[in-house]
Amino acid sequence: MTIARADRLGYVAMRVEDVERSVEFWTKVVQLEVSDREGDRVYLRGGMQHHWIVLEPADGAPGLARLGVEVASRAELDAIEQRFADAGVAVESGDGFADGYVDRFVRFNDPSGNPIELYHDMVTMAVPPKPVNVELWDVQHVVLGQTDVKAAEEFYTDFLGMRVSDRMGRRVTFMHFRNGWHHGIGLGSTGRAGLNHICFQPPDLDNTMRARARVMHAKIPITRDLLKHGPSGSVGFYCQGPDTVVEFSFGARRFGEDEAFKPRLLPTNRETGDVYQTGLGDAELDILQQLQRENAESATAAG
Ligand SMILES: [Fe+2]
């Protein structure tokens, strides 16, 4: 019998300070396409799904409005909803077609208060988005701030059927969905809920470097330049968008559904964050970090 579990990261909805300024970034730099506008809310897509990103005006503090997680079948979504009911955890569920472009949703907060929506069957567009310079396979992962990483790990395992891929000490736990990418959600010990970053997945180095060129051309600060992560093995870079940090990286490890593996407990040192820094002493690493900070600051000043 198949055990119900979440399939993939679907979308990230954010409350933003200036919707039009954000649309400019998401369309020109990330090259997503506006799929719908409804009042002040803007839906953007990079594939056949109706949306990967949703922007809405911040009525108060900007930040994560909702993280959308796709469940492959209605039967699995119902089974997961039943899990919440059996555990006495309150959720909101209903038909999301009219205002969210999904057939059915189940909404709740994770233990730190991050708003999550599990959904089945988002609207599929009839035609692909117009061609762009940087191919993106998917919106691959987010990292969410947590007050208690261990409690969050148990929650995502028990209710969503996610699996722990690796841990970086007690600070970060990487968890994967059924689609197998090393992490669909990273849980970071930040002391509070919130969106740390969104990662998009180009297929290869060429697309990643073209993304980097676009980011630099738009004078968007690169906050961590080309690096290779120890846990997932992905190669990419990070930049500071108007709403959140955006990562582009390719080559992440992918777990098979029936693959036997043991999550590693990795150290929280610089080489785990970037294996390319192997062999550099502390003095050289300090210089490297200072250079990256200066580059990011000069891009911010120029922009
Ligand atoms: Fe990441």
Q: How confident is the model at residue 155 (pLDDT cuts 50, 70, 90)?
A: very high
* pLDDT tens track for 56-68: 999 889 999 999 9
Residue 48, pLDDT > 80, answer yes
Distance 291 CA to ligand 1 centre (A): 21
Strands (DSSP E) found in the chain: 8-16, 33-38, 41-45, 53-57, 63-70, 92-94, 102-109, 115-122, 138-146, 163-168, 172-176, 185-189, 194-201, 222-228, 235-240, 245-250, 264-266
Rg (CA), the chain: 19
* pLDDT tens track for 82-103: 999 999 999 999 999 988 999 9
Distances in Å between the Cα of 22 and the Cα atoms of 40, 240, 267 are 12, 12, 36
Domains (range + CATH), the chain:
8-122 (3.10.180.10), 138-302 (3.10.180.10)
Distance 282 CA to ligand 1 centre (A): 24
**Averaged pLDDT for residues 151-162:** 98
pLDDT on residue 281: 81
Distance 247 CA to ligand 1 centre (A): 6
Distance 1 CA to ligand 1 centre (A): 33
Distance 208 CA to ligand 1 centre (A): 14
Count other Cβ atoms within 10 Å, centred on residue 291: 11
**Averaged pLDDT for residues 251-259:** 95
Question: What sign results for the dihedral spanned by CA atoms 249, 134, 117, 120?
Answer: negative
Distance 21 CA to ligand 1 centre (A): 24
Q: What percent of the chain has pLDDT over 70?
A: 98
Distance 38 CA to ligand 1 centre (A): 30
pLDDT on residue 3: 86
Residue 1, pLDDT > 60, answer no
Distance 182 CA to ligand 1 centre (A): 10
Distance 196 CA to ligand 1 centre (A): 9
CA distance 132 to 119: 28
Distance 238 CA to ligand 1 centre (A): 8
**Averaged pLDDT for residues 274-291:** 84
Distance 212 CA to ligand 1 centre (A): 15
Three-class DSSP category at 114: coil
* pLDDT tens track for 102-139: 999 999 999 999 999 999 999 999 999 999 999 999 99
Distance 83 CA to ligand 1 centre (A): 29
Distance 199 CA to ligand 1 centre (A): 5
Closest residue by Cα to residue 232 from 255, 198, 203? 255
Mean predicted lDDT score pLDDT of the chain = 94
Instruction: Output helix, strand, coil percentages for the chain, rounded to the nearest 5.
Output: 25, 35, 35
Task: Please identify every residue whose CB atom is under 5 Å from ligand 1, which is an ion.
Answer: 199, 247
Distance 246 CA to ligand 1 centre (A): 8
**Averaged pLDDT for residues 286-292:** 80
pTM value surpassing 0.75:
yes
Distance 56 CA to ligand 1 centre (A): 23
